[in-house]
Amino acid sequence: MADSYSSFAEQILRSADLEGKLLPPPAGLVDDAGSAPWHLPDLPARPSELRWKARGEPFRFPARIDSDTDRGHLLHHMANHELLAVELMALALLKFPDAPRAFRKGLLATLVEEQEHTRLYLEQMRRCGVAFGTLPVSGYFWRIVSPMAAPIDYVTRLSLTFEQANLDYSKAYAALFAKLGDPETASLFERIHTDEIGHVGYGLHWFRKWKQAEASDWDAFRAQLPPDIPPARARGVGFDRAGRERAGLDPTFIQQIEVEPPRPTHPVTAHWVNPGPDSGAPLPARLRDTLALLPAAWMREGELLLIRSRPRTRWLEFLARHELPIPHLLDPDSPAAPGPVAHLDPWAWTPAAIALEQRLGSRHPRAPRDPEALARLFSKAAAIPLLSACADALGIRGPGAEPGCVIADPAQLRAQLDRFRALGFDQCVAKRLLGCAGRGHRRIDTRSPGPELARLDAQCATEGPFLLEPWFDRRFDFSLHFDVTPDGVRFVGTTEMRNTRAGTWRASIAQPTLAHATPFARFFHTGRPSLLQRLAAALAPLLHAAFEGTGYRGPAGIDAFLFARSDGTLGCRPVVELNPRHTMGRAVIDAMRRCGSGRAGRIRFLPATIAAATARVERDPSGGISRGILPFGDPEDEVSPVPVLELAPAVEDLPDAEETAGRHGA
């Protein structure tokens, strides 16, 4: 029988049966502090029925708890974790014989509690009809913690990382089993949760004694962790703030662990909102920073978000508390990424984006082969041949098919105004060849141009050519979205655009059926194939031809609209602009992946104070977002509006813009 800490710990590690590993220490056990350190085994001895999971072997964790077997399998994983904790604590007793006696005494007491946790899990498993050894068991905790070289490594890795994470897991599983009507298993997890608070507190006490006094708990914790244990491993499912407070962790540590992004284990996508060639003048720094967080609406867990001005922690806390992916934030001027990068996904491929992808060392670069050819597609003139070809393919004649014209001099301007007047257009619109969101548009009367004619003459002389198009009585603006791939162009979906009368963008809306519950739905969806289906089918090969040779891979959008003819009937202008980049419409489509099926979503800008006051997320039973108002900007910015994603069961359930502003004092 064991008579000392060392012999008891050695018994646990050498025993090949569970009874020997879980046998509590006898009374009067002596702390033989100062004894020689014990030789480190590759793995602790285990019963023959417990097979170690091979590296790369699938991890068979139950995705759902629908049966006693599922319940038993979950408990099987938790029992192995507790048994590993017992073995690692025994190893620490043997590796650190010179550690303070109070530390070793507390370590032994914690070990005894972990033995009891293991026994409780095994007993509950047997009631579910699952034997220990039914599944292969992971040795990850052992591999990652056992190389500890000093007692501070033990408390950092086990107490403050994996046991801290178990505060979240045990609380979440207690709630889950209570909801499933299993109070016995819920009570087991509640007991373990209470004990884990003490274990974390014990580790924190000794960590503070051994860390550098001038370092904060958080900075010292990050510095002490080895490279293969990211700080985010100290967080589990959900986030138990109260448990951490009871354990004694300070508010800054708790806040930082809540928003710490997980470290990816594979090359990830890096997202960057950069102005495209069609942005015209460089974006003001404030607007650039406001848009920089937008990719968080659709990016996946662990991916990189390139941003020059780091958002306040409050926004990251909002993401964490609503179980939304927390991005890794990286300054685009930083010399290196924190991990391998698969490729860059910029808002638009520009020379700066191409250079950035090279600097990031992307494993699978996606920069276009011919950036100059791609840049030409950003010009509004690129839509002219697309409009003519698409109208021909669809058999559209009359006003909707009438192309615009690039104006290079005053004489050409007057000739085209005369031509459009002869075709029955009372007004035209002048657009800069490079511009977006409807900025800089000028309307001109074809019958009496007046002073606007002189202004356009001056614009042509100072800024160069512009596009002149007929002005329509627009009734419904929409966009069609595509993915350009090496294998062709794939249709992704449609969005409605809410624009001002002058054509300036205000919002993009996605829903399962474009124009649902509007007078325009019949126009879009009547027939087999419908107008919308024929339009998407016609545009795909035209876009493939337009992008051919550029080497471009990524999103592309076509803006279009319905208009009222002079006789009151509807017409379609199938191509207004080509967007060879991300757009707000594409952003809302990609963000909708977080929703349950059949939902509606909208992206628009709101004052930051309103966005912060209304922010919320509601989930359906499947875990998808059923309703939500998600700001993707600094909630404490008192000057700039921020992009906001709003989600609801249907468009009519989305909050009214004026109502939202009115309720919150805008």
Residues ≥6 apart with Cβ < 8 Å to 546: 377, 382, 386, 578
Q: How far apart are CA 267 and CA 256, in angstroms?
A: 24
CA–CA separation, 387 vs 538, rounded Å? 11
The whole-number average pLDDT for the span 509-521 is: 95
Tell me the C-alpha distance between 166 and 171, whole Å.
8
Helices and strands: H and E segment counts in the chain: 23, 17
DSSP summary character for residue 378: T
Return the pLDDT at 637: 67
Measured between alpha carbons, how far is 447 from 449 in angstroms, rounded to an integer?
6
Q: What is the pLDDT of residues 262-274, one digit of tens each?
A: 888 789 999 999 8
pLDDT at 488 over 90: yes
Output the six-digit token pair for 633. 């900007």
For residue 279, the model assigns a pLDDT of 63
- Judged against a pLDDT cut of 90, whether residue 287 lies above it is answered with no
Can you give the pLDDT at residue 662?
38
Distance CA 85, CA 111 (A): 8
Q: Is the pLDDT of residue 285 over 80?
A: no
Average pLDDT (354-376) is 94
Q: Residue 663: what pLDDT?
A: 38
Average pLDDT value for residue range 219-236: 95
Percentage of the chain surpassing pLDDT 70?
94
Sheet holding 488-499, edge to edge: 570-579, 554-564, 474-485, 488-499, 505-510, 600-607, 641-648, 625-631, 616-619
Q: Is the pLDDT of residue 659 over 80?
A: no
| 647 sits in which H/E element | strand 641-648
- Given a cut of 70, whether residue 206 has pLDDT beyond it is yes
- Cα→Cα distances 43→13, 46, 79, 309, Å: 9, 9, 17, 46
Residue 282 pLDDT class (50, 70, 90 cuts): low
Average pLDDT value for residue range 442-452? 85
CA separation for the pair 165, 168 (Å, rounded): 6
The token pair at 465 is 């050519």
∠ Cα 100 27 204 (to 5°) = 30
> Cβ neighbours of residue 415 under 8 Å, at least 6 residues apart?
none
Q: Please state at what angle helix 217-224 crosses helix 251-259, rounded to 10 degrees.
A: 50
Give the model's pLDDT for residue 1. 61
Q: Give the span between the Cα atoms of 625 and 619, in whole angstroms.
A: 4
633-648: pLDDT as tens digits? 876 766 678 899 999 9
> What is the mean predicted confidence (pLDDT) over 529-534?
96
- Per-residue pLDDT at 184 exceeds 70: yes
Q: Per this entry, what is the length of the chain?
A: 666
Q: Is 145 helix (H, G, I), strand (E, B) or coil?
A: helix
Domain ranges of the chain: 5-249, 268-375, 379-429+466-580, 589-666
Point out the least confidently predicted range of 38-52, 192-206, 421-435. 38-52
Is the preceding peptide bond at 529 cis, omega within 30 degrees of 0? yes
Tell me: pLDDT of 657 over 60: no
Among the listed ranges 30-44, 307-321, 368-382, 515-529, which one has the minimum average pLDDT value?
Answer: 30-44
Could you tell me the pLDDT band of residue 142, with boundaries at 50, 70 and 90? Answer: very high
Q: What is the pLDDT of residue 438?
A: 60
- Within 10 angstroms of residue 132's Cβ, the number of other Cβ atoms is 21
**CA distance linking residue 645 with residue 587, whole number of Å:** 9
Q: Counting beta carbons within 10 angstroms of the beta carbon of residue 251, is it exposed (0 to 12), middle (13 to 18) or buried (19 or more)?
A: exposed
Once rounded to an integer, what is the mean pLDDT over residues 537-552?
97
pLDDT greater than 50 at residue 661 = no
Kindly report the CA angle at 253 between 296 and 333, in degrees rounded to 5?
45
pLDDT for position 457? 86
Q: What rounded mean pLDDT belongs to the chain?
A: 90
On whether the CB atoms of residues 654 and 646 are closer than 8 A, the answer is yes
- Please list, residue by residue across 634-666, b when 16 or more beta carbons sit within 10 angstroms of its beta carbon and e when fewer do: bbebeebbbbbbbbbeebeebbebeebeeeeee
Going by the DSSP 8-state scheme, the letter that residue 45 receives in this structure is -
Q: Of the ranges 67-81, 113-127, 299-313, which one carries the lowest mean pLDDT score? A: 299-313
Cross-strand pairs, 474:
563
What tokens were used for 636? 């404490």
Least confident of 206-210, 223-227, 518-522, 633-637: 633-637
Q: Where are the alpha helices (DSSP H) in 96-182?
A: 101-127, 140-145, 151-154, 163-179
Residue 296 burial class via C-beta count within 10 angstroms: exposed 0-12, middle 13-18, buried 19 and up: buried
Greatest mean pLDDT among 2-6, 15-19, 62-66 lies in 15-19
Contacts of 287 (CB under 8 A, 6+ apart): 640
Q: What is the pLDDT of residue 31?
A: 87
Encoded tokens for 554: 């990524």
How is 549-602 classified by DSSP, letter by letter? TTT--EEEEEEEEEEE-TTS-EEEEEEEEEE-S--HHHHHHHHGGGBPTT-EEE
Q: What pLDDT does 447 receive?
A: 86
Looking only at the bridges linking them, the beta strands covering 328-330 and 304-306 are: parallel
What per-residue confidence (pLDDT) applies to 501?
80
In single-letter form, the type of residue at position 428 comes to: C
Angle (deg, nearest 10), helices 101-127 and 68-95? 160
pLDDT of 19 > 80? The answer is: yes
The mean per-residue pLDDT over the stretch 419-444 comes to 85
Percentage of the residues of the chain whose pLDDT score is greater than 90: 70
Interatomic CA distance for residues 82 and 643, integer angstroms: 45
Average pLDDT score over residue span 562-575: 95
Is there a contact between 489 and 578 (Cβ–Cβ < 8 Å)?
A: no
Cα separation of 106 and 190, whole Å? 22
What 3-state class would DSSP assign to 261? coil
Q: How confident is the model at residue 664 (pLDDT cuts 50, 70, 90)?
A: very low
Q: Do 653 and 599 meet the contact criterion of CB atoms below 8 Å apart? A: no
Cα 319–Cα 324–Cα 325 angle in degrees, nearest 5: 100
Lowest mean pLDDT among 70-74, 116-120, 224-228, 658-662: 658-662
Is residue 120 a contact partner of residue 112, using CB atoms and an 8 Å limit? Answer: no
- pLDDT, residue 442, reads 87
The pTM of this model reads: 0.85
